[in-house]
Each structure stands twice: as C-alpha cells, then as structure tokens.
Chains A and B, each alone.
Chain A
Amino acid sequence: MSAAPLLDVRGLRKYFPIAKGFLQRVAGQVRAVDDVSFTVNEGETLGLVGESGCGKTTVSRCILRAIDPTSGQVLYRTRDDRVVDLAPMSRQDLAPFRKEIQMIFQDPFGSLNPRMTLLDNVGEPLLVNGVRSRKQRMERVAELLRLVGLRPEFMHRFPHAFSGGQRQRIGIARALATNPRLVVADEPVSALDVSVQAQVLNLLLELQQSLRLTFLFVAHDLSVVRHIADRVAVMYVGQLVELAPTSAVFERPYHPYTAALMRAVPVPDPRVRNDDGILRGEVPSPAAPPPGCYFHPRCRFAEDRCRVEAPTLREIVPGRFARCHFAGELEL
C-alpha cells in the first residue's frame, strides 16, 4: 500500500442558501456539510454513517462532483501517483477521473433505465467512455455480468424481469464497467430484503478483494457498516463527530452520539430488552444548529462548557478522532 491515501477530503463544506420572499433574497444557509475531513486508503472500506439529514449523502455527492462543494479540497491520488484536487476542477478536467470514481445507488428500481436492456444499461458507461464497437461492449458486459453472479445471456433482457437483489447486482456491474478505483456506495443494501442483503454484502466483499476496490460505504444501518467497513466515520448535523477503526468504535465509542446510535439499534434478541440511554429530543436543523457542541441539547453528559464552546475533531489516541470536549473520559 502506498503511503498517500487514495482520497483525502479536507475541510469540505456545502452550504445551501435559503431563499425567502418574492425577490428570493438569501435569508440564511443550510450547513449540510460543515468542515468535514477524512481520508480513504487504497483497498479500504470507509463506512460513513449518520441519520437522515446529517449530510452523509451530500458528502458523497461532493466527492463525485454531482454537486459543487462550497469550499474545501477533495484530493485524489491518480494512477500515476499525482495528487489532484477534484473540488475546483472544470467539467473538462474532471472527465478522465469520472470513470475512476463510480457510484452504486440505493434504489435498484429507480437507478436502472426500464427502457434499456442490461446490455445498454451496463454498457452505457463504456459507450460514454469511447467504446464504440457493440461487439466489444457485449464482451465486456458479459464479463461484468459473470463477475456479479448473473448469467451473460441475461444481457438482452430488460430490468423489470429481475428481482431487487438481481437489479442491485446489475447496478454494481454498471459501476464496475469502467474499472473504477473508488466506488461510492450510497445505502446499497438498505432497500433489499434480509435474505438478499447478505448475498449483496458478500458480493461486495468478494469484489473488493478480487479487484482491489476502495469503498466509501454510506449507510445508516450500523450492523451492516460494522460488518463491511475497516473504519467508520460518524456524522451529526453536517459534521464528523467520530472517526476510528471499526472494531475500536464498536468496542468503545468516544462520542456520546455514537454510543447512543449503537444503543438505538434494536437487538434481534428478546432476552436483551432495555430502554436505557434512549436519546431524547430530535436532531437540530442544520439551518439553525444550537450554540456550542451541536449535540449538547441531547447529551446526558453535557456541561456548561458544551453549551458555549464548540469542540473540534481531535485525535484522542493515534488513529481515533472525536469531536467532544470529554472524549475518552466518559463512561459510554
């Protein structure tokens, strides 16, 4: 593994203006992503978790440049070991990197064109990237379908003929068409039934090994993230609150929000039932976050300092970051 990370996100911000009145004057900002920094090493899976509205999807869309970040850097290490910043790049300059960073979507029904056969759905990224020969595309699509565990003969069929799990495999095949290095998977298994979810998770793990893929895995389901990710980044109201190796986080979280999130997962064991430590209140709006630590109104450890002074994301022990004044001191 090379020393430099494949992806190095620094101080990423994305603010959406709130327009008001007839003249659509800007009345405020929604800080969807507010100073987010993390790295993803080659061959690694970074799990990005948080509840709806925390900004995890906005982060992934900024990295893919589906939207333009307000500020910050998205440093990407190219195949020839140069480091480029994707954030300010023009569409033209970005083009060669588009095929190296691909996406797997959540909804296996909405993300495939129902009027196109698998050949055209999976082959479209190839066409866009200059593979003009239909024969070449057919060969590559056949190879990709085999790779994701589907029969190559299926390529002339339309998406409606397939189940949710099979469609998600098709979406994965399409993401792999251009030989990407980084794959951003936004909730790739949350729309699937339990019995199919395990199949797709296993496929992703297999593909990562055989193709040396790097994953940014965006999800809300902690048990899925725990299973697949090497490191976990937890977001709350547009900010990272904890970033650490997966096993360490699940053994002992450093941020009270991470701990609350873990306790909130319903345990599939009727002998373990308790309502202790249920988080009160609701997630604040990123348009008007509370002063001090964003989490303090819901935190059972909050002290006066938390109400006025915003904590920074700091390294508590090597490799473990948390945004809490008392990280490492609390019994979570």
Chain B
Amino acid sequence: MSVKTHTRPEGPETERDQTALRPLPGLPEEVAQYIGDRPILRGEDPRVYDALFSQIAAFVAAADQIEWIWTKDIVDAVWEARRARRMRDQVLELGRSRAMKRVVENLLQDKRATTEFNKDVSKVVSSWMGPGGEAKMAEFLAQYGLDPSAIAAETFLNRAQVYEQADRMAANADKRRDGLLREIERRRAWRAQHFRDAANIVDAEAEDVTAERPRSGSLQISDKSPNDKRTKARD
C-alpha cells in the first residue's frame, strides 16, 4: 500500500512569505527584536501591513526609540480596526444566504410537514443567487406582502450581536490609536516647552554673569539693549 505524503517545501515560497520574514521597513533593529512581529492572520497580506507601516512611520517621523514603539502600536491599532470593520461587513454579507433560507422557511410553513420541504426551500434560495436573482426574490416576497428589506432585517437580526461586538472592537482600536497620537503630540509639546524654558534660563544666567562682571577701566560699553524690559527691571 502506498502512503501519500505531503512534503512541505523548505523556506518561503511566495513573495508574501518572504515579506513576512523581512524586518519592518524603517523600524530600528534594536527595537524590532522586541516588538517587530506583524500581528497578521492567515490570508492577510504582510505587504499591505508593511505599506501601512511605512506611511504611518513617515507621518509620525519618530524622533527616538519611545516614539518608534508608539508608531508600531499605532500601526497595529489601525490594522486591527480595519480588520474588525472588514469582518463586520462580511458578517452581514455572509449571513445573507442563511437569512434568505430562514425567511423562506417561515413563509412556506404550511409545507413544512412534507418531505420535499427542504428541497423546495433550497430551490427557491438557490434561484435567488443566480443572475436576475434580486428580481426573483422581490417577486417571491411580494406574494407574501414583503419586500427585499425583509432579508436585510433578518440578516441583521441573526447577526446583530456579532455586528455590535465587531463595531465595538473597531471603536476600541480607534481609541487606542487616538490616545497614542495624543501622547506623541503631548510629549513633543512638553519637550519643546522644556527646551524653551531651559534656553531662557541659560540666557538669563548669561546676562547675570555679564552684569556681575567687575568693572575695570574708565569706559564701560554695555551690550544690553535699552529696550530690554527684563534687563531694565533687574537694573
């Protein structure tokens, strides 16, 4: 008896696999060794993640290692929000055929006892999937005083909880992203203010040193402007 074996080829096969093995573009190597993994699922393209990372990194223009860590977090938050929204939309789209079946089952209740019931339901639903299905669906539903929005309502009813949870997940990721961006902004503003204060202190100290210099000789030429209020006040 021959046994069929599947041998897994060694090394990356596609460009997508190769991208997943490469370090993130622009992320310093010393930071990458701790937080450099891409949080992507099977079926998600690492090249798209890298492109997003490059765009956001260019926008943030990280000044030091702390800002690089924040940049990576922002990219992950954006990626997760996108994923949650994509899934949320798919939840409704893929729940549509099940909702159609449910609506038809409810409408054909009088035939439920027959052995052909499942066949009938499947037949009706599959006829709606093909070309011109929308018109057929509208025609069928009109017989019972309904319109295609009944299917949309049924889809939403079946998936409302998951839809709401996916929406919350996306909103949470957005909040994380906004919080991190605010933190970068706050830190830069705080540092700029700190540097300004430090520069003012240095200036003031330099002026004090000039003022305290022992006067020698007959002619003293002051380098202070007569309009300098701060100097005037001190004098």
A and B from one complex? no
B interface residues with partner A (beta carbon < 8 Å): none
Chain A positions near chain B (C-beta within 8 angstroms): none
